[in-house]
Amino acid sequence: MKLILLGPPGAGKGTQAQQLAKKRGLVQLSTGEMLRAAVKAGTEIGLKAKALMDKGELVSDDVVVGIIAERIQQPDCKSGFILDGFPRTLQQAAALDKMLEAKGERMDAVIELKVDYNRLVERIVGRYACAKCGEGYHDRFKRPKVRGVCDVCGSTEFTRRADDNAETVTTRMIAYYRETSPLIGYYFCRGNLHAVDGMAPIEEVGAAIEGIVDSLA
C-alpha cells in the first residue's frame, strides 16, 4: 500500500502517518524529518537545506526528489509506505509518478486532510515532541499524562522544532498555498484523491483514514 498524506503544516500529517504506519506495518517517509536529520548530522544536503527550512521556504525539488528516489528503493519500503510532506510541488509529484511508473507501480491513494486554516497557527506553535522516542505533544491539545514525562518512553526531555514559530508559519502557509495546494487538483484528476476532516479529534481522523485504506484493500 502506497499512500500520500496531503495538507498544510499543522494539518496532522505526521501524527496520522506515524499511527497508521505502526498499525499497518508501513514505512513513514517524512521529507521534513529526513531533512532535519541531515541538518543535525551536518551533511552537505543538511547545510544547504537549513537556511531555507529556518525561513519556512521549500528546499529545492532536486534535493527532495533525490532523497525520496533513494529511500523508496530500500527493502523496508517493499511492503508499502506513507509519504508525509512529499510531494510538495507539481514537479515533485510528476517526478514521483515517473519513478513509480518505471517500476509499473502507482500511488494507491492520496488523502487530503481538510483543515480550518485559522486554527493552524495555534496548532503549530504549541506542538513539541519527546526528544527520545518522538511522540508528539501539544501545549493545549495533548499534554503528557504526568507533567514533563513522556507517556510512551518515560523520558523527561522534549524538543520543539526551530520552524514552529509564528513568523515562519506564515511563510510555510504561503508556500503551501502557492506550491502544494495545486496538488489537490492534480490528484483529483488522476482519480485517487480522498478527503478527511482534519479538524476532528486525532482518533476520529485516524479512523476515517483507516476506513479509506480498508476500502482500497
Q: For binding to ligand AMP (CB under 6 A), which residues are involved?
A: 9, 31-32, 35, 52-53, 56-59, 64, 85-86, 88, 92, 163, 172
The active-site residue, picked from 147, 160, 172, 178, is: 172
Q: How far is the CB of 217 from ligand AMP (least distance, A)?
A: 27
Say how many residues make up the chain: 217
Residue 127 is among the residues annotated as catalytic for this protein: yes
Residue 78 is among the residues annotated as catalytic for this protein: no
The active-site residue, picked from 2, 50, 88, 123, is: 88
Contacts for 159 with CB less than 8 Å, ≥ 6 apart:
128, 129, 130, 131
Q: How far is the CB of 94 from ligand AMP (least distance, A)?
A: 13
**DSSP assignment of 98-110, as one string?**
HHHHTTT---SEE
Q: Which is nearer to ligand AMP, 4 or 209 (CB)?
A: 4
Burial 18-45 (b: 16+ CB within 10 A, else e): bbbbeeeebbbbbbbebbbebbeeeeeb
Cell numbers placing 177:
498555498
Q: How far is the CB of 56 from ligand AMP (least distance, A)?
A: 5
Q: How far is the CB of 101 from ligand AMP (least distance, A)?
A: 19
Residue with cell 541538518: 39
Q: How far is the CB of 215 from ligand AMP (least distance, A)?
A: 27
The active-site residue, picked from 2, 36, 50, 127, is: 127
Q: Quick check: 62 and 44 in contact, CB under 8 A?
A: no
Closest residue to ligand AMP, judged by C-beta, is 32
User: Within 10 A of 197 (CB to CB), how many other CB atoms are there?
Assistant: 12
Residue 2 is among the residues annotated as catalytic for this protein: no
Helical ranges in the chain per DSSP H: 13-24, 31-41, 44-55, 61-71, 90-101, 120-125, 166-175, 182-190, 202-216
The active-site residue, picked from 2, 13, 36, 50, is: 13
Residue 132 is among the residues annotated as catalytic for this protein: no
Q: What are phi and psi of 140, to 5 degrees?
A: -110, -40
Residue 50 is among the residues annotated as catalytic for this protein: no
Catalytic residues: 13, 88, 127, 161, 172
